[in-house]
Structure 1
Amino acid sequence: MNSLQKIGGVAALFEAAIYISAFVFFGAVWEFPADANAVQQFTFLAENQLILSLLNLAMYVLFGIFLAVLVLALYQRVKDKAPALSQLASIFGIVWVGLVIASGMIANIGLGVAIEISADDPKQAMTIWLVINTLVEALGGGNEIVGGLWVLLLSIAALRANEFPKMLNYLGVFVGLAGILTIYPAEILTEVFGLGQILWFAWLGVHMLVKSPALPEASVVEPAR
């Protein structure tokens, strides 16, 4: 179990790093010409297809793989002391894994299709691109209800099981509620969830690496006399 906790801790730190990389890229590097016409926008997308595809691969597919490891590690951590809540939390965690990975695959396939069609019909390609973006945002970007439920239920289970620092679990409750509230289309809620998850993942990862649960002591059998 200790090795799984260590691996889970590393996965949590990678989750935080992926979040930070995405915030930095879209906040300081990515300069999409939103005011340009369709031909100019798809020219820009075609020129940057490789980097955008790699970013989608990291933000969604790789994130989902690390998330699957973390969901399993955290379930193992709290299942004995909070079985029902940990199982329910894990269900939402597994669903979130599927949604996030699916979002990445849809984003990359959709990007390639839209760029290909744009050579003959930029307007139709723009319509397809808008539909693809809407699907990606609905599944794994702009709506964080499933992820929020996982973090919330897991944090409550950890509080009941007396696992992890209480302040970390209270942070998880806050982050989880923020994720659930993203059902209301306000960008600030998505940003609060994302920034909160960076702190939650990083803190959780460090704690899992530094303070993994001790292995049970082996029982000593006295020799027969």
Structure 2
Amino acid sequence: MTLIKTGGFAALVCALTYIAGFALLLTLLAPLGFGSNQIDAVAVVSFIAERPHLLIAWNSTIYIANAIALVLLVLAVHDRLRSETPGWAEASRAFGLIWATLVLGAGMIANVSVETALTLSQTDTEAAAQAWALLHAVELGLGGGNEIAGGVWLLCVGLAALRAGALPRVTALLAVLVGAAGLLTVIPALGDLAGALFGLGAILWFLLVGLTLLRHIPGARDLQSP
């Protein structure tokens, strides 16, 4: 299997990790306030004490599995871009791998926060909540609470693809729009809305780019394909 086709499957995996993450966020985790400024650390610790494996599975899906698939997608997109826009291709690869690294790091810290809270909760719930909140803040700083790195990568990919015709025009334009939404997460007043738009838009983009890469024919370009 070629790198580009592998990247196509990886893009679909990225979409599935986002879908699974949203599904759990809006159901079982909704009462805890994840994804908002209203998160209750004490409630999270109580949840961890009862169902630690669920949070670890969630973190491992939205962060770790996503990061692994993202590396393959970044390299495949770079391969797609490099013949027409070598400079932009290198820039996109750099930002994409930075993003994947941050996502992986956020996932590792998120799982450590669950394990730490679980251990401390057996003797001191308040200390467990404080430790979890501190580690969660680090997790958010790496990527769980903003989408700067992902936004820059998607902007690079979208602009390069528009210039080179390396991706369908709709897919390239969507990358630019989703990337812009990612950058807006740095603004506190727009953080939640921009984050939601980034996540939902990224699901659609992952699906579109995945299908494009899977039907890739060596030497062919998709200037006008849907």
Q: What's the TM-score once normalised by structure 2's chain length?
A: 0.88
- Identify the range of structure 1 (116-125 vs 85-94) with the bigger mean alpha-carbon deviation: 116-125
How far, CA to CA, are the matches of 2:182 and 2:141 in structure 1?
13
**Which sections of structure 2, spanning at least 5 residues, go unmatched?**
34-38, 221-226
User: Could you say which residue in structure 1 is the equivalent of 2:200?
Assistant: 195
Partner residue, 1:12: 11
Larger Rg: 1
Who is 1:29 aligned against?
28
Q: How many residues align?
A: 213
Tell me whether 1:62 sits opposite 2:65 in the alignment.
Answer: yes
* CA shift digits 1:76-98 (9 cap, x unpaired): 11112111111111111011111
Q: Equivalent residue of 1:183, what SS?
A: coil
Give runs of aligned pairs for residues 1-225 of structure 1, distance below 5 A.
3-32=2-31, 38=42, 41-185=44-188, 186-214=191-219
**Displacement after TM superposition at 1:29 (Å):** 2.8
1:135 shift after superposition? 1.2
Distance of 2:84 and 2:131 partners within structure 1: 48
Deviation per CA, 1:85-122, whole angstroms, max 9, x where unpaired?
11111111011111001111101111111221122222
CA RMSD for the aligned pairs? 1.8
Q: How big is the shift at 1:28?
A: 2.0
Contact 2:49 2:121 in 1 (8 A): no
Task: Give the share of equivalent positions with the same residue, in percent.
Answer: 36
> TM-score, with normalisation over the residues of structure 1?
0.89
Q: Distance in 2 between matches of 1:162 and 1:90?
A: 18
Is the CA contact (8 Å cut-off) linking 1:5 and 1:208 kept in structure 2?
A: yes
